[in-house]
């Protein structure tokens, strides 16, 4: 039986199956922990409390929340998904950015970080006319650098979580540290996949340059370390090896191109020191993973985006609309 099947959520809708894992720890907060049953209760309590405050006629509220590494926004996010309400994920503590989003999209519920506390607000906005399949909207700069929101359905995020779990081999014994913000699609996928399999999330707001990050990772017995290219620069400056995190089982990279030589070096380290290293490619619009380079790949593969995730296909299409099957011709990745 696969980890996804064992989760009790065959369709990958982890937000509906939190109770499946009962007393298992879902969120390791450093000074305490929250079980899956406790997280489900918090999620439903948020929905119930907000429902009492909504104006008449708002039955499917749009929720705008600042996605901080704290139980309150995580519970609110899961509660909205459980209730079928769409969510806009925003950067925590960035009041001006949140205000712009709120002015444009007129959400019915806001959860914002103000002076170190999470505050729930219910503006007098009307019921928004949103597609029934819409679940999450999150920002991406895209290729133009202009801010815009990508629309993802519940099926999108559930299917992608299942694919990631399958190729990474994630399971209930895994623990990932929140090294990435989860209003960002890569960080969001880490949250989704660990909740899908009944794993743990070690919540942490420290940077990799802070010794407290590594203390937190070691105390939490973190097995999954998700990183972006800039964070590999930090590892290089520190002289990283597995002694910094003895529990490490899996290191992943996405969020931009990693120098192929550097990637190959970490792949060799992983083989030598007994953990797995995955380079991955994705887009927010794909919710977000598209391709990955498996640990068994040759060094030359790190100059590519890798192979398609389970359930996906990749093609190169030329300007004339035909598929390009050989080397040496430019085209568009589809």
Q: What is the pLDDT of residues 161-216, one digit of tens each?
A: 999 999 999 999 999 999 999 999 999 999 999 999 999 999 999 999 999 999 99
Let me know if domain 36-154 sits in CATH 3.40.50.980.
yes
Q: What is the pLDDT of residues 121-174, one digit of tens each?
A: 999 999 999 999 999 999 886 545 566 899 999 999 999 999 999 999 999 999
Measured over the CA atoms of residue 200, residue 205, residue 207 and residue 210, the dihedral's sign is negative
**What integer pLDDT is reported at residue 145 of this predicted model?**
54
- The chain-wide mean pLDDT, for the chain, equals 93
**160-333, CATH topology level:** Rossmann fold (3.40.50)
Q: What is the pLDDT of residues 107-119, one digit of tens each?
A: 999 999 998 899 9
Please, are residues 34 and 44 in contact by the beta-carbon 8 Å criterion? no
Q: Indicate if the pLDDT at residue 9 is higher than 60.
A: no
Please, are residues 234 and 263 in contact by the beta-carbon 8 Å criterion? no
Least confident of 3-12, 84-93, 153-162, 242-251: 3-12
Burial readout 133-160 (b: 16 or more C-beta within 10 A, e: otherwise):
ebbbbbbbeeeeeeeebbbbbbebbbbb
Domain boundaries, the chain: 36-154, 160-333
Chain-centroid distance of CA 163 in Å reads 13
Please, are residues 177 and 217 in contact by the beta-carbon 8 Å criterion? yes
pTM for the model stands at 0.93
Decide: helix, strand or coil at residue 131. coil
Q: What is the pLDDT of residues 281-297, one digit of tens each?
A: 999 999 999 999 999 99
What's the whole-number mean pLDDT along residues 258-276? 96
Domains 36-154 and 160-333 share a fold: yes
Q: What is the pLDDT of residues 19-63, one digit of tens each?
A: 999 999 999 998 899 999 999 999 999 999 999 999 999 999 999
Least confident of 35-39, 75-79, 330-334: 330-334
Residue 166 neighbours by CB under 8 Å, 6+ apart: 2, 4, 310
What's the whole-number mean pLDDT along residues 213-228? 97
Least confident of 8-17, 63-72, 82-91, 277-286: 8-17
């Amino acid at each position: 039986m696969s980890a996804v099947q064992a989760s009790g959520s065959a369709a990958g809708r982890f937000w509906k199956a939190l109770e499946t894992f009962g007393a298992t720890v879902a969120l390791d907060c450093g000074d305490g922990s929250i079980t899956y049953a406790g997280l489900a209760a918090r999620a439903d309590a948020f929905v119930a409390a907000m429902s009492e405050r909504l104006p008449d006629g708002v039955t499917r509220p749009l929720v705008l929340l600042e996605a901080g590494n704290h139980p309150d926004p995580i519970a609110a996010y899961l509660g909205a998904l459980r209730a079928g309400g769409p969510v806009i994920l925003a950067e925590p503590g960035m009041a001006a950015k949140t205000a712009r989003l709120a002015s444009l999209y007129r959400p019915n519920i806001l959860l914002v970080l103000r002076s170190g506390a999470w505050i729930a607000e219910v503006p007098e906005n009307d019921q928004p006319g949103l597609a029934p399949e819409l679940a999450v909207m999150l920002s991406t700069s895209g290729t133009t650098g202009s801010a815009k929101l990508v629309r993802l359905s519940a099926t999108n995020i559930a299917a992608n979580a299942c694919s990631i779990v399958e190729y990474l081999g994630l399971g209930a014994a895994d623990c990932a540290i929140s090294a990435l913000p989860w209003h960002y699609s890569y960080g969001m996928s880490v949250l989704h996949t660990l909740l899908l399999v009944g794993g743990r999330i070690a919540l942490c707001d420290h940077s990799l340059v802070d010794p407290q990050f590594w203390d937190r990772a070691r105390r939490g017995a973190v097995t999954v370390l998700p990183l972006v290219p800039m964070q590999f620069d930090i590892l290089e400056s520190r002289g990283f090896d597995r002694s910094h995190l003895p529990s490490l089982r899996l290191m992943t990279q996405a969020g931009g191109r990693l120098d192929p030589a550097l990637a190959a070096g970490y792949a060799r380290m992983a083989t030598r020191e007994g953990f797995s290293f995955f380079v991955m490619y994705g887009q927010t619009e794909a919710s977000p993973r598209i391709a990955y380079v498996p640990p068994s790949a040759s060094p030359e593969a790190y100059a590519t985006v890798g192979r398609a995730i389970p359930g996906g296909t990749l093609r190169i299409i030329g300007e004339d609309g035909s598929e390009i099957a050989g080397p040496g011709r430019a085209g568009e990745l589809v």
